[in-house]
Structure 1
């Protein structure tokens, strides 16, 4: 038997931390990832695709998002098994009842909304008994996989558990408090494989228990997202062979750029130049530099923002530390001269006042250079 294990699609996720256009593009990428999973299922001739929870990001996505999701799944005509997670729990009125009301769920999609065995005929002929552990509320302190131990299935069927939660003792403490799953559940319940969701990175718990992670990265965390897992089992009881398959389109990176001298500043410019259309970046700028490097860094930052899929400056503590030559180059008389003197004083302060002074001085330097008032040799 071969199956694709995936989870945490989070369809309908909103990326409010970015520009609205960039956020919409990232949301659409999640549906695109599902279409790529369907293509992988066909290419690898799998028996089924198992989705271990959080198919949707909330209980109230746009109806269009629900319909588009199931349309993206049509690329694989074999069986899909979808499990409710904590974001899309199987409530009395939920996103799942909405999907059915819209007649959006195809006949080849099995919804694991209750803790009952799903008998699935694999696309390549395998006989599969899927044991789902759906969340019927967002959080629980009970192990919903406990019923797997006593579930009766045919001896010639592959026995596959699907759950969404935290394997006890395996995840960071903050992520290990709710929706617990026993670490030895696969062994105790005689499972051929236990497909897990909730942890958004790829993670092996034991030879029969894996988190697939989210197929499309969606946060700045180095926990190995962006995969689906190809699971191959020779016969019931055999040890699974699990192969991660890359799915994600975007890479999420944090650029921590600390500037202390010209060499640091050049490294920061080079790092920003490495941003491309596949990059979602958050930028932390710290340190200090002179007027010429400030201008170069601001230009590099603007160029990176235009090239990136999405970019946000999370920290901007880069202080302008003009040299005497910088200050002499900024010549002004009358009222503008008084403003310039005030900005030089404010530059030595902290907080918003210093940032405003820095930006104003940069604008002034740029204007004077364009007008030819600043000697060309001071330009970088």
Structure 2
């Protein structure tokens, strides 16, 4: 009879999102707990035999006691076995978050914490989970090496659970610490190797996968926001791995050049095409180009509108300049010292003084508000 597991990793509960302040950051932080609850519901609806979390359950050792309790409460929706592996963020060090959770009595009986390099035998499904335990944040040696020498009863199917970097496989930006042999699954005769640390879903070989984080948490992740439903055939054949989207929030990095109203309209169309609901989109927008002051005002108004519609919109307009047209200056005729100041600022701006260009924009905007009442 085939076995089914739900492979997930890198929940990083308690993640701060310091680059996204206020309510937006709080919403992203809280969603990670809600997504964990969704994973439990997915495990229940798919009737999996076990859930394996390949490290970094918590974002750090100092998460609040309430957060620790909330994590384990979310797991109660699926009453089957969970196996949680410490990662580099929540390593099994002395006085770890795992020891604290145990002292608090927060860990339900069906949740197994893999804090020692020894098999975890799940008798009813017949699974033997071999954990590559990180007992400090960075291990120079391969903590999965012991998998090769394990002698298990024949009725158990062996699955490896590890958190680190597959040697010579991941892109150069991945951490080089906590190495894992590329062919560990074959050397240890594993049915499957469930990996964590890389935040995108990624296949290493036919029996080794990174699940990625189930809730997207950065702009530069590759294929994040998933969990893996893994079916292990009873004949020992290649696992069937199904990618399931689990993320609520989707993160986008956009760049737009604007020189005229059509460019502004095109930017609005791009934001509208990100997907629904718009409140589930997180956007990092870089603007380039140059705009007349009136068009810049229209752009600012559009961006203000989108800030209210998106979960978060971060704008970098350092490469966007503004210029005053003859019509802008002509509108100040009869305005006395305001017109004089605007002409001088325009001359300085055209001579390459960005601060004066900004000052001119602010002056004209203030004058328009004054005239309009």
Give the shorter-chain TM-score range.
over 0.9
Per the alignment, residue 114 of structure 1 pairs with 116
1:355 aligns with 2:358: yes
Residues 246, 273 of structure 1: CA spacing in aligned structure 2 closer, same or farther, 3 A cutoff?
A: closer
1:229 aligns with 2:228: yes
Shift of 1:74: 1.1
1:79 aligns with 2:81: yes
Query: C-alpha deviations, 1:110-133, integer Å up to 9, x for none?
Result: 001111100013xxx420000001
Report the 3-state secondary structure (helix = DSSP H, G, I; strand = E; otherwise coil) of the residue aligned with 1:223: coil
Shift of 1:32: 0.6
Query: C-alpha deviations, 1:11-30, integer Å up to 9, x for none?
Result: 00011112311101000010
Task: Report if aligned partners of 2:332, 2:338 keep a CA contact under 8 Å in 1.
Answer: no
Per the alignment, residue 282 of structure 1 pairs with 284
Task: Report if aligned partners of 2:346, 2:357 keep a CA contact under 8 Å in 1.
Answer: no
Per the alignment, residue 104 of structure 1 pairs with 106
Residues 193, 359 of structure 1: CA spacing in aligned structure 2 closer, same or farther, 3 A cutoff?
A: farther
Report the 3-state secondary structure (helix = DSSP H, G, I; strand = E; otherwise coil) of the residue aligned with 1:327: helix
Separation of aligned partners in 2, 1:87 and 1:160? 23
Question: Can you give the 5+ residue segments of structure 1 that lack an aligned partner in the other structure?
Answer: 372-380
Per the alignment, residue 367 of structure 2 pairs with 364
Per the alignment, residue 31 of structure 2 pairs with 29
Shift of 1:261: 3.6
Worse-superposed segment, 354-363 or 40-49: 354-363
Task: Report if aligned partners of 2:214, 2:225 keep a CA contact under 8 Å in 1.
Answer: yes
Task: Report if aligned partners of 2:11, 2:56 keep a CA contact under 8 Å in 1.
Answer: yes
Per the alignment, residue 242 of structure 1 pairs with 241
Residues 113, 246 of structure 1: CA spacing in aligned structure 2 closer, same or farther, 3 A cutoff?
A: same
Report the 3-state secondary structure (helix = DSSP H, G, I; strand = E; otherwise coil) of the residue aligned with 1:210: strand
Task: Report if aligned partners of 1:253, 1:281 keep a CA contact under 8 Å in 2.
Answer: yes
Shift of 1:304: 1.1
The two structures have a TM-score, normalised by structure 1, of 0.92
Residues 12, 353 of structure 1: CA spacing in aligned structure 2 closer, same or farther, 3 A cutoff?
A: farther
Report the 3-state secondary structure (helix = DSSP H, G, I; strand = E; otherwise coil) of the residue aligned with 2:308: helix
Alignment of 1:73-222 (within 5 A): 73-121=75-123, 125-222=124-221
Shift of 1:326: 2.4
Task: Report if aligned partners of 1:5, 1:228 keep a CA contact under 8 Å in 2.
Answer: yes
Shift of 1:259: 1.2
Residues 291, 127 of structure 1: CA spacing in aligned structure 2 closer, same or farther, 3 A cutoff?
A: same
Separation of aligned partners in 2, 1:365 and 1:176? 53
Residues 331, 19 of structure 1: CA spacing in aligned structure 2 closer, same or farther, 3 A cutoff?
A: farther
Task: Report if aligned partners of 2:332, 2:339 keep a CA contact under 8 Å in 1.
Answer: no
Shift of 1:337: 3.1
Report the 3-state secondary structure (helix = DSSP H, G, I; strand = E; otherwise coil) of the residue aligned with 2:339: helix
Residues 334, 287 of structure 1: CA spacing in aligned structure 2 closer, same or farther, 3 A cutoff?
A: same
Count of residue correspondences? 367
Residues 160, 358 of structure 1: CA spacing in aligned structure 2 closer, same or farther, 3 A cutoff?
A: same
Task: Report if aligned partners of 1:12, 1:57 keep a CA contact under 8 Å in 2.
Answer: yes
The two structures have a TM-score, normalised by structure 2, of 0.93
Worse-superposed segment, 319-328 or 26-35: 319-328
Task: Report if aligned partners of 1:272, 1:300 keep a CA contact under 8 Å in 2.
Answer: no
Structure 1 residue corresponding to 2:54, chosen from 52, 68, 72: 52
Per the alignment, residue 302 of structure 1 pairs with 304
Report the 3-state secondary structure (helix = DSSP H, G, I; strand = E; otherwise coil) of the residue aligned with 2:279: coil
Report the 3-state secondary structure (helix = DSSP H, G, I; strand = E; otherwise coil) of the residue aligned with 2:37: helix
Task: Report if aligned partners of 1:19, 1:310 keep a CA contact under 8 Å in 2.
Answer: no
Separation of aligned partners in 2, 1:271 and 1:87? 36
Task: Report if aligned partners of 1:117, 1:129 keep a CA contact under 8 Å in 2.
Answer: yes
Q: RMSD over aligned Cα, in angstroms?
A: 1.8
